[in-house]
Amino acid sequence: MLELKEIWKTFNAGTVNEKQALRGVSLTLNDGDFCTVIGGNGAGKSTMLNAVAGTWAVDSGSISIGGTDVTHLPEHKRAAYIGRVFQDPMMGTAPSMQIIENLALAARRGQRRGLRWSITKAEKSQYQKMLQNLDLGLEDRLSSKVGLLSGGQRQALTLLMASLKKPKLLLLDEHTAALDPKTAAKVLELSDRIVAESHLTTMMVTHNMKDAIQHGNRLIMMYDGKIVIDVSGEEKKKLTVPQLLELFSKVSGSDEADDKLLLS
Amino acid sequence: MLNFIGALPGAVSQGLIWGIMAIGVYITYKILDIADLTVDGSFCTGGAVFVVLFGSGANIWLALLAALAAGMLAGLITGLLHTACGIPAILAGILTQLGLWSVNLAIMGMKANVAINVTNQSNLEKLMVSLRFVQDVAAGRRPFYRHPILVVGVFSLAIIAVLYWFFGTELGSALRATGANPNMARAQGIDTNVGKVLGLMISNGLVALSGALLSQYQSFADSSMGKGAIVIGLAAVIIGQVVFGKLFHNFALKLTAVSLGAVIYYAVIQAVVSLSDINTNYLKLISAVIVAVFLAIPYWKGRYFSKAAKKGGAVHA
pLDDT in tens, A68-117: 999 999 999 999 999 999 999 999 999 999 999 999 999 999 999 999 99
Q: Which positions in chain B have a beta carbon within 8 angstroms of at least one beta carbon in chain A?
A: 166, 168-174, 176-177, 180-181, 183-192
Count Cα neighbours of B281 within 13 Å in the Cβ-side half-sphere.
1
Predicted pLDDT of residue B315: 40
Query: Nearest by CB to B177, which of A74, A79, A97?
Result: A97
| Pick among B170, B171, B178, B249 to test the A interface (most A CBs inside 10 A) | B170
Predicted pLDDT of residue B314: 41
* φ and ψ of A33, to 5 deg: -65, 140
Predicted pLDDT of residue B275: 85
Whether ipTM exceeds 0.85? yes
pLDDT tens profile A132-144: 988 888 989 999 9
- pLDDT interval class at B66 (50, 70, 90): very high
* φ and ψ of B179, to 5 deg: -75, -35
Helix (H, G, I), strand (E, B) or coil at A114: coil
* Res. B237: pLDDT tops 50: yes
Query: Residues B98-133, buried b or exposed e (16+ Cβ, 10 A)?
Result: ebbbebbeebbeeeeebebebeeeebbeebbbbbbb
| Contacting residues of B for A91, CB less than 8 Å apart | 181, 183-184
Whether residue A96 and residue B184 make contact (CB cut-off 8 A), yes or no, is: no
Average pLDDT over residues B44-61: 96
A165: nearest CA partner in chain B:
B188
Average pLDDT over residues A187-207: 94
Task: Give residue A8's Cα distance to chain centre.
Answer: 20
Average pLDDT over residues A183-203: 94
DSSP designation for A98: B
Predicted pLDDT of residue B84: 97
Query: Nearest by CB to B190, which of A76, A102, A161?
Result: A76
* φ and ψ of B84, to 5 deg: -80, -25
| Pick among A76, A77, A155, A168 to test the B interface (most B CBs inside 10 A) | A76
pLDDT tens profile B71-105: 999 999 999 999 999 999 999 999 999 999 999 99
B267 C-beta neighbours (distance < 10 Å), count: 17
- Of A92-96, A183-187, A233-237, B101-105, the one with minimum mean pLDDT is A233-237
Predicted pLDDT of residue A145: 95
| Enclosing H/E stretch for A204 | strand A202-205
| Contacting residues of B for A101, CB less than 8 Å apart | 173, 176
Predicted pLDDT of residue A255: 54
Q: Are A159 and A190 in contact (CB under 8 A)?
A: yes
Burial category of B306 from C-beta neighbours within 10 Å (exposed 0-12, middle 13-18, buried 19 and up): exposed
Q: What is the least distance, in Å, from the CA of A133 to any CA of chain B?
A: 22
- pLDDT interval class at A262 (50, 70, 90): low
Q: What is the least distance, in Å, from the CA of A91 to any CA of chain B?
A: 6
| Contacting residues of B for A117, CB less than 8 Å apart | 168-170
Nearest to B204 by CA among B87, B107, B74, B80: B74
Predicted TM-score (pTM) of the model is 0.91
Average pLDDT over residues A141-160: 94
* Res. A190: pLDDT tops 60: yes
Name residues whose C-beta falls within 8 Å of residue A187's C-beta, 6 or more positions apart in sequence: A152, A155, A156, A159, A175, A176, A179
- What is the rounded average pLDDT for all residues in chain A? 91
Predicted pLDDT of residue B317: 38
Cα–Cα dist B302/A96, whole Å? 19
- pLDDT interval class at B306 (50, 70, 90): low
B70 C-beta neighbours (distance < 10 Å), count: 27
3-state SS record for chain B: CHHHHHHHHHHHHHHHHHHHHHHHHHHHHHHCCCCCCCHHHHHHHHHHHHHHHHHCCCCHHHHHHHHHHHHHHHHHHHHHHHHCCCCCHHHHHHHHHHHHHHHHHHHCCCCCEEECCCCCHHHHHHCCCCHHHHHHHHCCCCCHHHCHHHHHHHHHHHHHHHHHHHHHEHHHHHHHHHHHCHHHHHHCCCCHHHHHHHHHHHHHHHHHHHHHHHHHHHCEEECCCCCCHHHHHHHHHHHHHHHHCCCCCCHHHHHHHHHHHHHHHHHHHHHHHHHCCCCHHHHHHHHHHHHHHHHHHHHHHHHHHHHHHHHHHHHHC
| Contacting residues of A for B172, CB less than 8 Å apart | 118
Whether residue A105 and residue B168 make contact (CB cut-off 8 A), yes or no, is: no
* Res. B55: pLDDT tops 50: yes
Average pLDDT over residues B42-68: 97
Q: Are A27 and A221 in contact (CB under 8 A)?
A: no
Q: Is A125 on the interface with B (CB under 8 A)?
A: no
DSSP designation for A115: S
B33: nearest CA partner in chain A:
A96
**C-alpha dist (Å) from residue B42 to A147, A181, B5, B75, B212:** 35, 54, 32, 8, 10
Name residues whose C-beta falls within 8 Å of residue B84's C-beta, 6 or more positions apart in sequence: B193
Predicted pLDDT of residue B272: 86
Predicted pLDDT of residue B312: 43
Cα–Cα dist A4/A24, whole Å? 9
**How many CB pairs lie under 8 A apart between chains A and B?**
86
Cα–Cα dist B20/B24, whole Å? 7
